[in-house]
Structure 1
Amino acid sequence: MCINHTDRRGFFKAAAAAGIAVAGVSAMAAPAAAHERTLPLGEKVALTNVRIFDGDQVTFPRTVVIDNGRIGISSLGARRIDCGGAMLLPGLIDAHIHLRDVNTLHALAGSGVTTGLDMASFPPSLVDSLRGLPGLTDIRSAGAPAVAPGSPQSQIPTFPADAVLTGPEQATQFVRSRIAEGSDYIKIIIDEPGLSPETIKAVTTAAHSAGKLVMAHATSTATVVRALDADVDMIHHVPMDSPLSASVAARYVSTGTVAVPTLTMMEGFGNLGIPGMDYAAAEGSVAALRRAGARILAGTDANLTPGIPVQPPYGTSLHHELELLVHAGLSHREALRATTSLPAQAFGLPDRGAIRIGNRADLVLIDGDPLADITATRSVRRVWVGGVEYTPTPA
C-alpha cells in the first residue's frame, strides 16, 4: 500500500506521539525497493556480553544474534564472540553524502556508517554500481537535483539537461525522469537567485503525487522559508546569514519538516571567512530547531566534488557532526537518535536504525559510552553491514 504525502507525515507524527519506534517495524512486513538486492546469507554469529543502545538508554550486557543478515532469535549453532562489555550501536546513518566511488563505501563502513543517503550523484550508472555490495555501506540516492539555469550545477558538462528547469511546466517530467533512473527521493536546489517559488512548489507536488519525499537545499533564511512554503519534506543545511527565528523554527514542527543541518559543512564554510557565512548563525539555527522540537538528523555533506572548497571526509565526519550537534544543544541521546532511529523513520527505512529482531544486522561495536561522552562513537571496534562484517581493503 502506498502512503501518500499527507498520510506519511500523519503516520510519523502519530507514531511519535504514541511513543512507537517506527524503525522497529518488522522488515518482513516492508516491501523491498525494486533495486534492493537480497541480503547475502552470512555466518551465524552470537555477540555475547555486549551492552546495547536501545534508543533511550544502555542495557545490561546481553547477547545479540546475527543470522542470515538479520538480527536473529536463537544463538544455537552460532559462532560466539565475547565483546567484553563493549557497546553495540545500530549501524550509523549519514543523511547527507555525495557518492564518489566504491572507496566512498569503504570509508563510510570503516567508520560505522552502514547507510549513506546520497543527495546528488550522476550518472545513474554510478549509483547503480554502488548499490547492494555485500559488507559495504547500503545507499539511497536523489540522483540529479532540480536546479535553475545559470546555477553552478548546470555548468557541469555531464549534468543532465532535463534537471535544469526554467518553469513549473517542466516539473512533472523532471520527476518522472528521476524515478525512471532509480532515484529514491527528489532533491531541489533552492538558491538566490534560483528556481521560482512556483517551480519549487510544482516539483514538490509532482514528487509527492509519485510517492517520493522531497529534499531541499537551503542555506539562508529566505530560502528556508521558500522551502517551507513549498511543503518539502526535509531541509538540508541551515542558514548562515542569521539564526532561524523561533517562529520559523516552529514551522518545521507544524509542517512536519525534518532538518538536516550539516553543521560539518557549515563549519567548513564559516572558516573560509566569506562575508555572510557565519557558523554561529548555523549553530544558533540548530539550537532554535531543538528548542522548537523539530526532528534533526545527522548529515555531513561528505564529498570529493571538484571545485567545492569544503570536502568533509567520508565516515569520520559523521562523528564530528555528532559532536557539533551536541555543542549546539542536542543531548547525547538526541545526537545518537539523529544518526540511527530518526533517519530510518524519516526516510522510510523500517528495517534499520534499531537493534531489534528481524531488522538488518547493521551493527557497530564501540568502546566507551557515547551517552556520557559523544566522542566515544569514534572508537569503532567492529562493524557489520547486513550481517557481513566489514573488512578493510589491503593497503
Structure 2
Amino acid sequence: MPRDYYEVLGLSRNASEQDIKKSFRRLAMKYHPDRNPDDAESLAKFKEAKEAHDVLSDPRKRSAYDQFGHAGVSGQGGFGGGGPSDFGAGGFSDIFGDVFGDIFGGRAGGRRTHRGTDLRYELSLTLEEAVAGKDVSIKIPTTVECHYCGGSGAKPGTKPKECSTCHGHGQVRMQQGFFSIQQTCPACRGTGSVIDDPCKHCRGSGRLREEKTLSVKVPPGVDTGDRIRLAGEGEPGEQGGPPGDLYVQVMVQEHPIFTREESHLFCEVPISFATAALGGEMEVPTLSGKVVLKVPAGTQTGKMFRMRGKGVKPVRGGPVGDLICRVVVETPVNLTERQKELLRELDETLAHGGKHHSPHSTSWLDGVKSFFEKMGL
C-alpha cells in the first residue's frame, strides 16, 4: 500500500498549491537520479515524491484523493496513467449508470465511449533553458488506428459481426424484481460486435503502437514541478471517445554555479583574504552576462550582496527576481615559508591592535573570559 501522499511530501492536508510545489522541488533536487546515479533507494523516493506531486497538484485528483484515498486515484501514476477525468471515464458515474441506468435516466443502451488516457512526459531542461524558454521537439509512444484493417480489428477484407447476445447495443438488460439492471455485454465487452477472424497486425485491437513527434513551446520562467498541457495529444479514446491529454512535466537540472528559489538566484563567490580585508572589485556571472561586484573593505564570510533584477521572471507573471551573491573568504593553502613568515608578522601586528583590528574576536574572547569567571574556572 503506497504511503500517504501528504506524508511523502511532509505536508499537512490543508497545504497550499505553493507548499506542494516547494516541497516537491526540494525532494526532487535531493533524490533526482542525475544527482544519485545507481542509487535505487533515491530513485524510489524520487518516484514516490513525483507520484504524490502529480496527484496533489491537480485539484480534481486531490479532491478525489482526499475523499477516497489511493482508491480514488488508482491508475494515475506513470507514463500512460489515467487522466484527470477520474470519475468520468470508467469511474463512479459509469458504475451507477450500469446498475441503475433505467431508474435514474442514465444510458438506456448503445455503445459506451471512453475518453483516452492522459500521458506524461518528463522534460529535462538546463537552468538557462528554463529561464529563457525554448521550443523543443519530443517523441512519445502512442496508439494509432491500424491502417491494415482501418481500425475495425477484423482481418482485411472482412468485417466485425453484430454481437448476437446484445444485438449491437453493447449492453444487456436483466430484470430483478422491480429493478431493471443494465450491464456491459459479456460477449462483446461493450463493443456491440465480435470478430471471428482478427487482423494479424493489430491482433484484433484496431490499433498499432507508433511514435510521434510533437513540438512543445516552453514558456520562460518554468521551474521543476511545472506542467505543460497539450490538449488531445494523449491516447485516443475507445469507441469514438475523445483523446486524452499529454502533460509535459518539467525537471530543471542542477546548475554548477546558481541555485534557484522561486524568482531569485543564489550563488557563492569566493574572495581572497586580501580582497576581504582591503576591498576591491570582481566580475561575477549572471544569466544575462557579467556584472561587477564591489567588495567593501573588511568584508566577512557570509556577507550577502543583492543584484536587483538579475534573477528570473516568474512564468505566471510578477517582477523579475534578484541574484544574491554570498561571499566566502578563502583561506590560502600550500603556502611557501616566506608567505608563512609574512602572515606571522601580520598576525603579530594585528594582535597589538586588539579590538581596533579584530572587533568580533575581541568581543568573543571577552565573553568567554566572563563565562569562565562566573563558572569559577
TM-score, length-scaled by structure 1:
0.20
Structure showing the higher strand proportion among its residues: 2
Provide TM-score, normalisation by structure 2: 0.21
Structure 1 or 2, whichever has the larger Rg, is 2
Higher helix share: 1
Q: Which has the higher contact order (CA 8 A, sep 6+)?
A: 1
